[in-house]
Amino acid sequence: MEDRIQLLGLDAAALERFVTQDLGESRFRAKQIREWLNRGADIDGMTNLSAPLRARLKAVAVANPVRVLEGFKSKLDETEKLLYALEDGNLIEGVVMRYHHGDTLCVSTQVGCRMGCAFCASTLDGRVRDLTAGEILGQVAAANRHIRAQDPSRRIHNIVLMGSGEPLDNYDNVVRFLRLVNAEDGLNISLRNVSLSTCGLVPRMYDFANEGLPVTLSLSLHAPNDVIRRQIMPVANAYPYGEVLQACRNYVEKTGRRVIFEYALIRNLNSDVKHAEELARRLRGLQCHVNLIPLNDVKERHLEAPSRQAVEAFLKRLELKNISATVRREMGADIEGACGQLRRRVLADRDRPGKP
């Protein structure tokens, strides 16, 4: 792997140490470099540094280890899917969703994923590697630069860790990223505007509750009980349903923030009103909200969404039982918005004979 330093992954103290000790430059230079990093600039673009200094910097460091290769705009809404390249040639993807209150970016935390959920495209080829904190932050900086080029008033306001990978399976880098993105001299994004989605790695959920980070926790539940959950999520074999909910209760108690449950509705599996009844019973008394997601069909898996009427009936039943719930608005349906789909298609196209 690339061994140049990822400047974006350094906090204020580490960047200052690097600039003053390794480069022998003044602290003021560290401040200038930080300003460029926040704007997503590369080293060549740091025009208030001298050319020799830029050359020295380039020999040992990269500014942003993430580059936008291509953007794919939805014709249905203002969603844009981004394909990024990493320094080692790996590809990852992200989505920018434009809402009236600002732009939301979906970021990845690993190349691929090893959790094995049956409906998810990210996990089909397993985990390739973890992303560094600088690479997770790099997605935000690169996306900012990309959307600003379209409209200078735009910037990423909200972040969801819902791209490829399991954030709590790359715990240290993810926590470092959260502190970096929140830093006053960095992108200064409030952690109240950040959501982290996990498939439910229970011990790490307890650790995360103790970090003192006011991040919204989303839990990928997708079932009303363990029998069904184990059919689609291997992680359910390691951590039983009751323990996952207990870890969620702990998160609510520690952080004072409600937990969001994600529930992908899958035809003939978890989408009957009796499942809604059972789910409501399990969640009673928990400060939460349920996000219903009609499954994004993944053709490799032969799983599909239920009818629109079934989705409505499921929602109605939860509401009747006083569980706060919404159906997630489908965005970017035409641009392979679901996790891992774009990267897979690009990799498949690359491998096809006759392609460069």
Torsion angles phi and psi, residue 102, rounded to 5:
130, 180
Q: Under the phi-then-psi rule, with left for phi > 0, alpha for psi from -120 to 50, and beta for the rest, what region is 34?
A: alpha
Is residue 141 a contact residue for ligand SAH (CB under 6 A)? no
- Regarding 173 and contact with ligand SAH (CB under 6 A), the answer is no
Calpha distance 305→293 (Å, rounded): 9
197 belongs to the binding site for ligand SAH (CB under 6 A): yes
Give the shortest CB-47-to-ligand SAH separation in angstroms: 38
Shortest CB 93 distance to ligand SAH, Å:
12
Q: Report the amino acid identity of residue 258.
A: R
Query: How many residues make contact with ligand SAH (CB under 6 A)?
Result: 18
271 is a site residue for ligand SAH (CB under 6 A): no
Sole window of 55-63, 87-95, 117-125, 203-211 interacting with ligand SAH (rule: CB under 6 A) = 117-125
- Report the catalytic residues: 93, 339
d(CA 300, CA 186) in angstroms, rounded, equals 41
Q: What is the DSSP string of 126-151?
A: -EEEEPPHHHHHHHHHHHHHHHHHH-
Q: Of residues 16-55, which lie at the interface with ligand SAH (CB under 6 A)?
A: none
What string marks each residue from 87 to 116 as x (binds ligand SAH by CB under 6 A) or -? ----------------------------x-
Nearest approach, Cβ of residue 191 and ligand SAH (Å) = 17
Q: Which is nearer to ligand SAH, 16 or 166 (CB)?
A: 166
Q: CB-based burial of residue 319 (10 Å sphere; 0-12 exposed, 13-18 middle, 19+ buried)?
A: middle
Distance of CA 340 to CAs 145, 166, 329, Å? 23, 12, 19
How far is Cα 19 from Cα 31, in angstroms, rounded to an integer? 10
Residues 292-351 that bind ligand SAH (CB under 6 A): 293, 295-296, 298, 338-339
By CB under 6 A, what part of segment 217-236 binds ligand SAH? Answer: 220
**How far apart are CB 3 and ligand SAH at their closest, in Å?**
28
User: Residue 50 corresponds to which amino acid?
Assistant: S
Q: How are beta strands 102-106 and 66-73 bridged, if at all? A: unpaired
Least CB distance to ligand SAH at residue 210 (A) = 20
Nearest distance in Å: CB 54, ligand SAH: 37
Please list every residue from 152 through 171 that binds ligand SAH, using CB under 6 A: 162, 166
Nearer to ligand SAH, 137 or 293 (CB): 293
Angstrom distance (rounded) from CA 345 to CA 300: 12
User: Does 198 help bind ligand SAH (rule: CB under 6 A)?
Assistant: yes
Which of 18, 36, 84, 119 touches ligand SAH (CB under 6 A)?
119
Closest CA to 105 of 87, 68, 80: 80
CA proximity to 56, closest of 71, 64, 66, 46: 46
DSSP-assigned states of every residue in 43-98: GGG-TTS-HHHHHHHHHHEES-SEEEEEEEE-SSSS-EEEEEEETTS-EEEEEEEE
Q: Does 202 bind ligand SAH (CB under 6 A)?
A: no
Stretch that binds ligand SAH, among 16-24, 37-45, 88-96, 291-299 (CB under 6 A): 291-299
Sites of contact with ligand SAH (CB under 6 A): 115, 117, 119-120, 162, 166, 197-199, 220, 262, 264, 293, 295-296, 298, 338-339
